[in-house]
């Protein structure tokens, strides 16, 4: 076991090492969105500011629409728990180009650091495996997270990656919150015109 607990932002940067140009990333509300933005804004990033529980399903709809693009959903344990049924839905559909990375600090970080179910017994990798995900992995160090980066684009999914991170508060780095702008920017990257 590592002596120091991995921090969220180095974990996200490690997972995005040598980010493939065609990788599309959906970030769930709260710290996953801040951490993705902190790792570097990108037209292929779509940040949610609400719709808790929905990030994985936005990723599924996108992955099915864009089978040639690898899709990463970056979410937290709180949102993954709220949308637990989405893991069953993804497991039923089995898109090989979809990965779900869960920043698991075992707490609801935005709301006062209450303990979440992953601190109280739920193992999200076991849930995903039981739902039929092709593979799951747990990374507790930056090196382990970096080692998983090439797998985001290898079409071996659906995958669930649990990033075990600390619960220390970090300064917020806020992405744009105009959803229509983010949607139009994202679609333009894919060559899709506005309505």
Q: Which residues bind other proteins (CB under 8 A)?
A: 24, 26, 46, 48-66, 69, 83, 85-86, 88-89, 92-93, 179-180, 182-183, 186-187, 190, 192, 195
Q: Shortest distance, CB of residue 136 to other proteins, whole angstroms?
A: 19
Q: Distance (Å, rounded) from C-alpha 118 to C-alpha 121?
A: 6
Beta carbon nearer to other proteins, 64 or 126? 64
Q: Residue 30 or 54: which CB sits closer to other proteins?
A: 54
Chain center to CA of 3 = 25
Closer CB to other proteins, residue 93 or residue 172? Answer: 93
Residue 27 Cβ, how far from other proteins at the closest point, in Å? 13
C-beta of 10: minimal distance to other proteins in Å? 28
State residue 137 phi and psi, 5-degree precision.
Answer: -150, 155
Instruction: Output Rg (C-alpha) for the chain, integer angstroms.
Output: 15
Cα dihedral sign, 146-22-177-111: negative
Least distance between other proteins and beta carbon 69 (Å): 8
CB of 150 to other proteins, least distance (A): 23
Residue number with CB closer to other proteins (58 or 134): 58
**Judged by CB, which is closer to other proteins: 52, or 147?**
52
Other CB atoms within 10 A of residue 74 CB? 28
Q: What number of other Cβ atoms are within 10 A of residue 89's Cβ?
A: 13
Find out whether 59 and 83 touch, Cβ atoms under 8 Å: no
Q: How many residues does the chain have?
A: 195
């Amino acid at each position: 076991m590592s002596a120091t607990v991995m921090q969220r932002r180095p974990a996200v940067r490690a997972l995005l090492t040598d980010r493939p140009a065609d990788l599309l990333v959906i970030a769930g509300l709260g710290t996953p969105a801040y951490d993705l933005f902190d790792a570097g804004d990108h037209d292929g990033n779509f940040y949610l500011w609400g719709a808790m529980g929905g990030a994985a399903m936005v990723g599924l709809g996108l992955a099915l629409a864009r089978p040639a693009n690898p899709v990463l959903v970056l979410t937290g344990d709180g949102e993954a728990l709220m949308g637990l049924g989405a893991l069953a839905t993804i497991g039923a559909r089995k898109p090989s180009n979809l990965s779900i990375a869960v920043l698991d600090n075992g707490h609801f970080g935005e709301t006062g650091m209450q303990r979440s179910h992953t601190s109280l017994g739920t193992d999200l990798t076991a849930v995903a495996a039981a739902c039929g995900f092709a593979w799951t992995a747990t990374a507790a160090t930056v090196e382990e997270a970096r080692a998983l980066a090439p797998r985001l684009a290898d079409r071996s999914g659906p995958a669930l990656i649990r990033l075990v991170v600390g619960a220390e508060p970090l300064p917020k780095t806020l992405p744009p919150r105009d959803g229509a702008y983010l949607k139009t920017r994202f679609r333009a990257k894919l060559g899709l015109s506005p309505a």
